[in-house]
Structure 1
Amino acid sequence: MSIIIAGERSGVGKTTVTLTLLASLCRRGAVVQSFKVGPDYIDPMFHQRVTGRACRNLDPVLTSESYVQQCFNRHSQGCEYGLVEGVMGLFDGIGHDTENQLPTDFGSTAHIARLLDIPVVLVIDCSRLSGSVAAIAHGYSSFDARINIIGVVLNRVGSDRHLSLLKDSLKPLNLPIIGVLRRQDNITIPDRHLGLIPSDELPELNAVIDRLADLGDSCFDWDQLLPILQSQSLPITHYPLPITHPPVKIAVARDKAFNFYYQDNLDLLQQLGAELIFWSPLSDAGLPQGVQGMYFGGGFPEVFAQQLAENTSARDAVKTAILAGMPTIAECGGLMYLCEQIIDFQGNPWSMVGVLPTSAQMGGSLTLGYRRAVALQDSLLVPVGANVYGHEFHRSRLISPPKQPLFATSRYDCEENMGFEGWSLPTLHASYVHQHWGESVEMPQQFVKQCLI
């Protein structure tokens, strides 16, 4: 059986607890499959760095309930343990959707726990409480009878005396303490404007993982934990997608500037007959030879804007390819790269590819949330009138909006208009909206088809 690591709210240490468990299990030689609830790119990078296996996102908002179940079952095959990291607080979802009659916690960690029928370990930040821990634990464990909270992890415990008070308070609940993590000042992962700094930018990460494994060996009650962690994979039928064409070479930008990709999207392209060739707009002189399409994911081009600007040969190669009609997908950071400039947080302008007649300016406000996007015109991926569900997560804005926008966007859970965005050229789809193609296979199919023309 797998477990979900949930928090009583954001910031309680779910990621630290999850990475600690993963590091300790992998040190024991276990094969562990990890998952992440919600639209997250960075936490899965850390999971993969620890386990050596691609972490999978479980998001019924971007995909569907059935896809979440299929994804979990498929990738749990052949693994000894399964571990799901939750999102925000246990019951935090997108809110009530009257039109579709969705529950108030749709897309939450609790929703995923019910869908997968797996137990929950609740992480509680104990740094500013003692006896109140019992009220928190009791409230969460009794709020929804369908959720099986099998124990708690007490995080940021200050002293032996503090731990004693916490244990005494929890004793009447008969709720097992699965783990105790003290305040670990020497185990930190730095962050910046969009969250944790991605794993590829942290040369000291291996040492941090070793310290997490040491911590995991001692802080968890393994006698309680191991019996419930063992994964029970469910048999599923996998239908391969038909391929009737030679391999299609697609250049995927992947380096420190561009690394926000759902692994399922990359898998789908390969299943559709694509040969993915990874390259770096930061350091490669040009595109890989013989490619027939390009895919630019999100990431942090603003952090590496000077280096991107200085690699003029790569920028010229991308611009030439797009103007010559090479099918191209650009999401968020990829869109920014295709603009004339990126203006960084200090106000410095850096030249980019220049296909889109606008500049991306970094700002202080965060644009974040699920989106319903209606296509206002045909694009490389979607026909006019199509409904697309995605997610935005950026601190930049375009100085000049598109004159003929690709999408009219609204919040997922209400009709609140969020405006217009996205660029569509005959063979270019560029948008701030990140998409997961798990339930929208027609989009990568259309991309691959255009790459063959």
Structure 2
Amino acid sequence: MPAGLVISAPASGVGKTTLTLALARAWRNRGLNVQCFKSGPDYIDPAFHAAATGRASVNVDSWAMDRGGIAHLVGRGADADVVLAEGSMGLFDGVAARGVSGTGATADIAEMLGWPVLLVIDPSGQAQTAAAIAAGLRDYRPGVRLAGVVLNRVASPRHEDLVRRALDDAGIAVFGALPRHAEISLPKRHLGLVQAEEQAEIGKLIDEAARFVAEHVDLDAVLQSAAAWAPQPAANGLNVTPPGQRIALARDAAFSFVYPHMLEAWRAAGADISNFSPLADEAPDASADVCWLPGGYPELHAGKIAANARFRSGLRAFAETRPVHGECGGYMVLGTALTDADGVRHEMAGLLGLETSFAKRRMHLGYRLAELAAPMPGHRPGARLRGHEFHYSTIAAQPDTPLAVVHDATGAVIAETGSRRGNATGTFFHLIAEDR
């Protein structure tokens, strides 16, 4: 029977991902099968999980998914020895208004699955106060159980001793303490970690993290703190419809933000996926019946995309007879132009009138609920789509017919409506699931 554990923290940037990867690889090195999940809308971390475990990881999200969909996804851990769910942000951080089965908080997943929480605490700039924070998290919400803590970035043995004593007085187990160790720092950029597939040395970095954590953390005690878990049969899977029977999917360093559960659901429904690389100046597969451009980092490659005539002409030819859809960065590339961070304007595909700019960065972040005013690939007018938006571009022009009425998690209508023109559609949000 698998043992389940949630890895969380009081806030972002404390070391959840590094600890998750290290534990997963360390236990895998001991011969255990480890399955990871990511709580919340993060399309980067699952690839790191897969690199550490050798098993595909997917997102589980209480705001966008119902309990049946979450049970369906976590059921893949039934044959594992250890199942780790990495949280996002702080343990109780979600949105103000409840979604399908929760607010999107990591605590929702911990309570739903009955898995205890391993807290990563960074006591930099404090000592005994770290115990007060851990105790507050332990007692904040009935139904969420704390397994214990791992301290990260402790300054000295004396510092560690002060924090350990305070946690012991609070009745909270300390499984280990990690000194600062630059060799296991994961590189970052403006949308989060540099993606796993872009890091040639990712295997060595994870190995070093596993070695370092095994030296400073009681792996056996952590494993014993996990809850025995018997996966419950899911009454239903996710409500995800493939956009077509044969999908031409843009996949490279500029187009990589795809939730793994979406691709799996498309394939499970019988769709074929044909990848192509706009950065390699490839056109979409002419035999496909729909083209999908996911998000990613087009702003870092705008000059190359603008110069790749075969890609742009092939995409325009495809759109003459078949639907093309873009999400976030893909939506920007379907537009008329993209201005990069240096203020240079680059011509894009021109299938939509959208113009975006990174010259004056402005963060757009949050859950989105869209009610379609017109069809988009795989979804009918009136469909309610749940997704997540995260980018730093501003809209210079969005002249086409709006695709949807889009609300944020509070119910407020937002300006990022998406667009449609002919066979082309686009949204700023990344689709997670459709309401039933």
Please report the TM-score for the alignment, with normalisation by the length of structure 2: 0.92
> Which residues of 2 match residues 136-285 of structure 1 at below 5 A?
136-229=133-226, 232-234=229-231, 236=233, 248-285=245-282
Structure 1 letter corresponding to 2:298: P
Q: Give 1:290's aligned amino acid.
A: S
Q: What SS is found at the alignment partner of 1:76?
A: helix
SS in 2 for 1:421: coil
- Report the AA paired with residue 315 of structure 1: R
Q: Which consecutive residues of structure 1, in runs of 5 or more, have no partner in the other structure?
A: 242-246, 441-453
Partner of 1:429: 425
| Equivalent-residue separation in structure 2 for 1:231 and 1:349 (angstroms) | 55
Q: Aligned AA for 1:425? A: R
1:308 is paired with a residue whose SS is: helix
Aligned-pair identity in percent equals 34
Could you tell me how far 1:211 is from its partner in structure 2? Answer: 1.1
Q: Is the 8 A contact 1:67 1:438 kept in 2?
A: no
Q: CA-atom RMSD, angstroms?
A: 2.3
Structure 2: 5+ residue stretches without partners: 239-243
Secondary structure of 2:353's partner? strand
Q: Which amino acid aligns with 1:8?
A: P
Change (3 A) 1:80 1:439: farther
TM-score (norm 1): 0.88
Q: CA separation of 1:285/1:329 partners in 2, compared to 1, >3 Å: closer, same or farther?
A: closer
Partner of 1:448: none
User: Which of 376, 383, 399 is equivalent to 2:373?
Assistant: 376
Report how far residue 186 of structure 1 moved.
Answer: 2.3
The equivalent of 1:334 in structure 2 is: 330
Change (3 A) 1:206 1:379: closer
Aligned to 1:88: 89
Is the CA contact (8 Å cut-off) linking 2:388 and 2:432 kept in structure 1? no
User: What residue in structure 2 maps to residue 351 of structure 1?
Assistant: 347
Alpha-carbon deviations, 1:417-450, whole Å to 9, x = none? 212521123533311111113756xxxxxxxxxx
Q: Give me the whole-angstrom Cα distance separating, in 2, the residues matched to 1:279 and 1:382.
A: 23
Q: 1:396 to 1:127 in 2, by over 3 A?
A: same
Decide which moves more: 430-439 or 32-41. Answer: 430-439
Q: Which amino acid aligns with 1:83?
A: L
Contact 2:116/2:147, CA 8 A, preserved across alignment = yes
Shift of 1:230: 7.4
Contact 1:76 1:231 in 2 (8 A): no
SS in 2 for 1:317: helix
- Are the aligned partners of 2:68 and 2:235 in contact in 1 as well (CA < 8 Å)? no
**Equivalent of 1:10 in 9, 12, 21:** 12
Residue 25 of structure 2 is aligned to residue 23 of structure 1: yes
| Aligned twin of 1:447 | none
Structure 2 Cα separation of the partners of residues 76 and 57 of structure 1? 13
Matches of 1:85 and 1:40, distance apart in 2: 10
Partner of 2:311: 314
Q: Is the 8 A contact 1:365 1:395 kept in 2?
A: yes
Cα deviation, residue 322, structure 1: 0.8
Map Cα deviations across residues 101-152 of structure 1 (whole Å, 9 max, x no partner). x99x722111111111111111111111111122112211122231110111
Counterpart for residue 241 of structure 2: none
Which of 39, 42, 65 is the equivalent residue of 2:41? 39
> CA offset at residue 351 of structure 1?
2.3
Give the superposition deviation at 1:189.
1.6
- Judge conservation of contact 1:265–1:438 (CA < 8 Å) in 2: no
Going from structure 1 to structure 2, the CA distance change for 1:178 and 1:253 (only over 3 Å counts) comes to same
Partner of 2:361, secondary structure, is: strand
Separation in 2, partners of 1:50, 1:159: 29
Residues 324-383 of structure 1, C-alpha deviation per residue, up to 9 Å, x if partnerless? x22222111111111122211001122222211232211311000112222233433433
